[in-house]
Copies of this chain bind each other. A is one copy, B any other.
């Protein structure tokens, strides 16, 4: 399951989470490997599905989406296809987590205006009751998983 990542693998993951466009030669330098060895490890991590993609991070405000909101959706039925269809159509829904608890889904929505957010939430409300919270700020920069401290299951 955990494709047994060694410290070098984690070093590669850390570097590419920080800067996905790092050249392979420079990557090799940073993890004390030749470029070809680093490349081979990287291909292995990609092939095993540990790395699922490389993405540019966009400033939502500068891109014209100054309104960010967390919306929780309480979804009574068990027919989830219509919701998934809406998720596919509405690009303003950036993330959708299905969770335990009273609210079945937690979504993150980027909108161009309050009116736009209102319209999007209205569309979601046809599926169930919604709770919307506006986001003041992200208090953390981008972050992904790091090498575990080795006793987390203790």
Contact = CB atoms under 8 A, between A and B. Distances in A.
Interface of A: 1-3, 5, 13, 16-21, 48-66, 68, 70, 84, 87, 91, 93-101, 103, 105-106, 110-113, 115-116, 131, 133-140, 142-146, 148, 152-154
Given A21-B21, A136-B99, A144 B57 contact: yes
B58 A143 contact: no
A94 to B, nearest CB: 5
Given A2-B64, A98-B138, A115-B154, 11 more contacts: A21-B54, A49-B62, A51-B58, A55-B142, A56-B144, A84-B139, A94-B144, A96-B138, A105-B139, A110-B145, A112-B148
